[in-house]
A and B are shown apart, each in its own frame.
Chain A
Amino acid sequence: MERLIEILEDIQPDVDYANCTDLIDGHYLSSLAIISLIAELEEEYDITIPAVEIVPDNFNSAERIMKMIERLQEEY
């Protein structure tokens, strides 16, 4: 989790990632930030994030992002 927040802060600083729950809907993360984020996450966690996963629901909070990562890691 800490590593994730580090990545997030590296991409888009000045957001309270620990508590924010509307990263997308509140326009904290732009679509460019999402593009960066996906590339970073894939490298860091050795997963593939398909386009279908790119929905606000998966990115609205650090917790949701983590859940998605764990889910994708578990998939065979």
Chain B
Amino acid sequence: MQLSSLLLAGQGKSLTSLFSLLYLILFLPACIIGYTVIPKNWKKYFLLLASYGFFWLISGELLIYLILTTFSVHYFGIWLDRINGQMKEALAALPKEERKGAKAGFVKKQRLVVALAVVLHIGLLLVLKYSPFFTTNVNLLLNKMGLSINIEIPKYLMPIGISFFTLQAVSYIVDVYRGVTKADDNLFRLALFMSFFPQIIEGPICRYNQTAEQLWNVKPIEYKNLTFGIQRILYGMLKKIVIADRLNLFVSNIFDKNVDYEGGIIAIGAICYTVQLYMDFSGSMDAVVGTAEIFGVVMPENFQRPFFSKTISEFWKRWHITLGAWFKDYIFYPVTSAKKMKKLTSGARKKLGNHYGPLIAGSIALFCVWFCNGLWHGSAWSFIFFGMYHFVLILIGNMLEPPVQTMNKKLHINPKWFVYRLLQILRTCVLVVIGELFFRARGLKAGMNLFTKMVSDFSFTTLNDDLLKTLSADKYDFIIVGVTLLIILTVSILNEKGICIRGSLAKRNIVLRWCLLYALLLYIIIFGAYGLGYKPVDPMYAQF
């Protein structure tokens, strides 16, 4: 067998995730070596080239969307900057009293430019991602009204990662407008910020201020960064290949087949899906952050042990952090800072007090955030429901906060009491799992059916080896998932306490280090769910 035939195009996607062998044993090592041997001034261009190569391997010609987006935000940024310059010049020439009025005109112009950019980019995303959903519903509505008009349902090829890089593009434009960052006059620097290869599939969603400079001023690879990065990637593999992929068949058998399982089994399925999603997404993030770390780039973290959260609101500050932060900065605060909202807040505060006063404006903003959040995850009613579900949970949490506090005081319950906190964590986990049940179900109707069944028929009478077999699982699958989760729980608890495992490991002698690394590698190789009998699973968040 000639080695050359390995690289021949097999048509379709040749690269699907940061855990594919093509990436791990060919692409990444080639990048590391190429990056090391290339002269310092060219390293950044090498990274840009590698990033475009990576995107090409994933999406082929759809790379054009990324390039067009980059060009567009680059020139929009420069446009905004130019207006800003004109404004400064004009204002300097005016006496102080007249400045305020003159400024308003320029700001208005800038706002128009920002609006145009946002409409363009979000619009593109909407068209590509949501027009099938939209037309389907319009057709349904027309039919309900008795009109037999059927608009053809369009189907577009969507580049992987567009939901992520569009948000980066918008945040850049808004940041330039707000003066948080200067418009980038270097097209290549902006292009690298938009396309850096590890993060292009599933984020994290970075701000220009977080990564652009770091990426542009890249340094030679440091030994420590290299080893830490590789360790982080391996940790991600453990999550993804041993746990997430092993649960995949089981979960899809429960959710995708029209079989009527009893409630207990559905509950197990929902829990397994939640675990699968977390391990898949956070494992991928480990690979992203680890890869960036190799090149000395610090990426924002997307997860902070979300299942230790005591409330739903806290959960969303620890799960997919960069998306939450994006919504907070570009939707939540802008909505609450609108003039009318501020009036509403100060008025309501006088009547309703410190807690419920701002809650009205806050809740309206929160509604916008969660509507967008649901929709961002996919174009289906079940996703909108998912957003609303969390909105309502957070709203209820906010409403109940004062009465719960008074109750605790009356009953002499200390909210810092271990058992109390544990119960809070458990409650949050249950609520999250129910949310994920709807998230995973094939449509809102299916989700409702599963949920009703889960609650009304909660038993485990049919749970036995034979049933597991029909669900493509056996007790050993669950044992190994359990053991691996325990390992990850231990690491998480240590992290939560602020202990850096990699750091303390680096101080140990080489024999111990190698033994541990070998153990981890062999663990992944033996207990990983890959090869015959398993289906490779694409990164789950890439489809959002």
What's the minimum C-beta distance from B51 to chain A, rounded to whole angstroms? 29
Whether B342 and A39, one on each chain, are in contact in the complex, defined by CB atoms closer than 8 angstroms, is yes
A43 within 8 A of B: yes
Decide: A50 and B178 in contact? CB cutoff 8 A. yes
With contacts A51-B329, A52-B179, A76-B99 known, is A36 near B91, CB below 8 A?
no
B100 touches A35 (CB 8 A): no
- Interface size in chain A (residues, C-beta < 8 A): 19
- A31-B332, A76-B100 as given contacts; A54 in contact with B337, CB under 8 Å: yes
Least Cβ–Cβ distance between B111 and chain A, in angstroms? 11
B346 touches which of A31, A39, A52 (Cβ 8 Å):
A39
Which of B91, B359, B361, B398 is in CB contact (< 8 Å) with A76? B91
Instruction: Assess A51 versus B354: contact at CB under 8 Å? Given A31-B362, A39-B342.
Output: no
A42 on the B face (CB < 8 A): yes
0/1 interface trace, chain A 55-76, chain B, CB 8 Å (1 if under) = 0000000000000000000001
Is A49 an interface residue, CB under 8 A from the partner?
A: yes
Chain A contacts for B342, CB-based, 8 A:
38-39, 42
Q: Is the CB of A51 within 8 A of B337?
A: yes
| A49-B336 Cα distance, complex, nearest whole Å | 11
Report the minimum CB–CB distance from A9 to chain B (whole Å).
11
| Residue of A with least CB distance to B179 | A52
CB pair B180 A52 closer than 8 Å: yes
Residues of B within 8 A of A43 (CB): 346
Cross-interface CB contact of B361 among A35, A51, A52, A54, cutoff 8 Å: A35
Q: Is residue B349 within 8 Å, beta carbon to beta carbon, of the partner chain? A: yes
Tell me the complex Cα distance, A38–B345, Å: 9
- Interface: B421 (CB within 8 A): no
Which residues on the B side are within 8 Å of A36 (C-beta)? 345-346, 349, 354, 357-358
A32 near B358: Cβ-Cβ < 8 Å: yes
Encoded as 1 (CB less than 8 Å from any A CB) or 0, chain B from 353 to 371 comes to: 0110111011000000000
1/0 per residue B70-114: CB within 8 Å of A?
000000000000000000000100001001100100000000000
Inter-chain contact A32/B355, CB cutoff 8 Å? yes
**Is residue A33 contacting chain B, with contact meaning CB distance below 8 A?**
yes
Residue of B nearest to A43 (CB): B346
Compute how far the CA of A56 lies from the CA of B405 in the bound complex, rounded to whole angstroms: 26
Residue A12 interfacial (CB < 8 Å) = yes
Residue of A12, A43, A49, A52 with most chain B CB atoms under a 10 A cut-off: A52
- A40 located at the interface, meaning its Cβ lies under 8 Å from any Cβ of chain B in the complex: yes
Are B354 and A54 within 8 A (Cβ)? no
* B343, closest chain A residue (CB): A39
Q: Which B residues lie within 8 Å of A39 (CB)?
A: 342-343, 345-346, 349, 358
Q: Interface majority SS on B: helix, strand, loop or mixed?
A: helix
Residues of B within 8 A of A40 (CB): 346, 349
* A11 in contact (CB, < 8 A): yes
Cross-interface CB contact of B337 among A11, A12, A31, A38, cutoff 8 Å: A38
| CB pair A76 B103 closer than 8 Å | yes
Cβ of A32 and Cβ of B99 under 8 Å apart? no
Q: Once A and B bind, how many residue pairs between them come within 8 Å at the CB atom?
A: 57
In the complex, A66→B302 CA distance in Å? 32
Cα(A2)–Cα(B30), bound, Å: 61
Residues 321-358 (chain B) with a chain A CB within 8 angstroms: 328-329, 332-334, 336-337, 342-343, 345-346, 349, 354-355, 357-358
Per-residue B-contact encoding for A1-19, CB less than 8 Å = 1, 0 else: 0000000001110000000
C-alpha gap A39/B332 in the complex (Å) = 15
Kindly report which residue of chain A lies nearest to residue B98, judged by CB atoms: A76
| Whole-angstrom CA separation of A11 from B349 in the bound complex | 9
Known contacts A50-B178, A54-B333, A54-B337; A32/B100 CB under 8 A = no
Q: Is the interface of A mostly helix, strand, loop or mixed?
A: helix
Closest to A42 in B: B342
Q: Kindly state the separation between the CA atoms of A42 and B96 in the bound complex, as whole angstroms.
A: 22
Q: Is the CB of A32 within 8 A of B362?
A: yes
Nearest A residue to B175, CB-CB: A52
- A11 vs B337: C-alpha distance when bound (angstroms): 17
Closest to B177 in A: A52
**Roughly how many angstroms separate A58 CA and B343 CA in the complex, as a whole number?**
22
Residues of chain A contacted by B336 (CB below 8 angstroms):
35, 38
Q: Which of B332, B334, B358 contacts A33 (CB 8 A)?
A: B358
Give the complex CA separation of A10 and B355 in angstroms.
11
Contact call A35/B358, Cβ cutoff below 8 A: yes
Q: Which residues of B contact A35 (CB under 8 A)?
A: 336, 345, 358, 361-362
Question: Which residues of B lie under 8 Å from residue A42 when comparing CB positions?
Answer: 342
Q: Considering the chains assembled together, what is the distance between the CA atoms of A33 and B103 in angstroms?
A: 31
Q: Which residue of B lies closest to A11 (CB)?
A: B354
Q: Is B357 within 8 A of A51, CB to CB?
A: no
Give A45 to B362 CA distance when docked, in angstroms: 22
Q: Which residues of A contact B355 (CB under 8 A)?
A: 32
Q: Which chain B positions have C-beta within 8 A of A38?
A: 336-337, 342, 345
Please name 15 further chain A to chain B contacts, defined as beta carbons within 8 Å, in addition to the given A36-B349, A51-B333, sorted by A numbering.
Answer: A31-B328, A31-B362, A32-B359, A33-B358, A36-B358, A38-B336, A39-B342, A39-B343, A50-B178, A50-B337, A52-B178, A52-B180, A54-B337, A76-B96, A76-B100
Residues of B within 8 A of A (CB): 91, 96, 99-100, 103, 178-180, 328-329, 332-334, 336-337, 342-343, 345-346, 349, 354-355, 357-359, 361-362, 398
28 inter-chain pairs at a CB distance below 8 angstroms, sorted by A residue, are A10-B354, A11-B354, A31-B362, A32-B355, A32-B358, A32-B359, A33-B354, A35-B345, A35-B358, A35-B361, A36-B345, A36-B346, A36-B349, A38-B336, A38-B342, A39-B343, A39-B346, A39-B349, A39-B358, A40-B349, A42-B342, A50-B178, A50-B337, A52-B178, A52-B180, A54-B333, A76-B91, A76-B103
